[in-house]
């Protein structure tokens, strides 16, 4: 009887965790959807166009000169929202950063805003979607997850350096992997520097720019692609060295 009494606790039904995580996911998903919907419903994208930037450049410059600290904070916050919610207009904001704060500081402020927004998108994708994706496609994603995690920094650096891959897509896909947050932050912060500087530098000549295509010329894109390939060199070397006898 004593033995039966001792075994009884192990036979009790295991209490299932509360569904608080599901509620939290619904709330966060609703907030994100609401913010994106409000952006398009109120047509806020009209303020993030090259024409609007050129039309309001004098007023923006006066405000930035008179309220520098506030301008920096507002600029970084705006960039966080745009990058975090995958809203259109990041390139225009980068031009504005270079125009208002100069090439170097503009690149710095863009980097702070873009990296922070990217991390928020990364964490949101991981919290909202990764469990579901792994549950549905775990058998096929297992080898990919393992390979990506081993060289996550180099892979992400390549994706960040080559502008052919949309910024928000890389954020979301990275969140579905098992990449560490530290590697993600480091690769993002370093990988976006060249592109940010090119656009921030172009912002200094805002009056001469008629289209964003003038900035992303074939030569510039080719240079970014070359940088992206160079970021893969450590991975290629590692694989080549492992095959040598």
Whether the Cβ atoms of residue 70 and residue 106 lie closer than 8 Å to each other: no
8 in a domain, yes or no?
A: no
Regarding predicted confidence, which is higher, 100 or 154?
A: 100
63 in a domain, yes or no?
A: yes
3-state secondary structure (DSSP) of residue 15: coil
Lowest-pLDDT range of 79-83, 95-99, 236-240: 236-240
147 in a domain, yes or no?
A: yes
105 in a domain, yes or no?
A: yes
Whether the Cβ atoms of residue 178 and residue 134 lie closer than 8 Å to each other: no
Task: Report pTM.
Answer: 0.82
**Cα distances (angstroms) measured from residue 143 to each of 36, 138, 195:** 34, 9, 31
Residue that has been written with the tokens 């694989």 in this structure: 239
Domain count, the chain: 1
Structural domain including 128 reads 44-243
3 alpha-carbon distance from chain centroid: 58
Give one word for 13, left, alpha or beta, with left for phi > 0 and alpha for psi -120 to 50.
Answer: beta
Which of 15-19, 20-24, 157-161, 195-199 has the highest mean predicted lDDT (pLDDT)? 195-199
38 in a domain, yes or no?
A: no
194 in a domain, yes or no?
A: yes
In 3D space, the residue among 203, 218, 183 whose CA is nearest the CA of residue 107 turns out to be: 203
Give the pLDDT confidence of 128-157 residue by residue, as tens digits: 988 877 777 666 566 556 666 678 888 898
Q: What is the mean pLDDT of the chain?
A: 84
10 in a domain, yes or no?
A: no
**Segment 24-45 mean pLDDT:** 95
28 in a domain, yes or no?
A: no
């Amino acid at each position: 009887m004593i033995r039966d009494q001792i075994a009884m606790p192990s036979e009790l039904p295991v209490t299932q965790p509360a569904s608080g995580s599901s509620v939290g996911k619904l709330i966060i998903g609703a907030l994100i959807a609401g913010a994106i919907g409000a952006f398009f419903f109120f047509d806020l994208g009209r303020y993030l166009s090259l024409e609007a930037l050129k039309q309001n450049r004098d007023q923006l410059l006066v405000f930035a000169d008179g309220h520098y600290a506030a301008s920096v904070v507002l600029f970084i916050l705006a960039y966080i929202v745009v990058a975090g919610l995958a809203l259109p207009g990041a390139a225009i904001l980068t031009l504005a950063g270079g125009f208002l704060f100069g090439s170097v500081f503009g690149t710095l402020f863009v980097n702070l805003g873009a990296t922070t927004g990217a991390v928020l998108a990364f964490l949101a994708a991981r919290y909202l979607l990764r469990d579901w994706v792994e549950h549905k496609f775990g058998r096929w994603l297992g080898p990919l997850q393992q390979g990506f995690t081993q060289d996550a920094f180099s892979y992400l650096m390549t994706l960040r350096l080559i502008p052919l891959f949309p910024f928000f897509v890389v954020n979301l896909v990275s969140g579905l992997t098992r990449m560490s947050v530290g590697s993600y932050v480091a690769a993002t912060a370093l990988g976006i520097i060249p592109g940010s500087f090119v656009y921030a530098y172009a912002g200094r000549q805002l009056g001469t720019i008629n289209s964003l295509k003038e900035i992303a010329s074939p030569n510039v894109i080719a240079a970014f692609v070359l940088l992206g390939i160079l970021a893969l060199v450590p991975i290629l070397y590692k694989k080549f060295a492992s095959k040598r006898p």
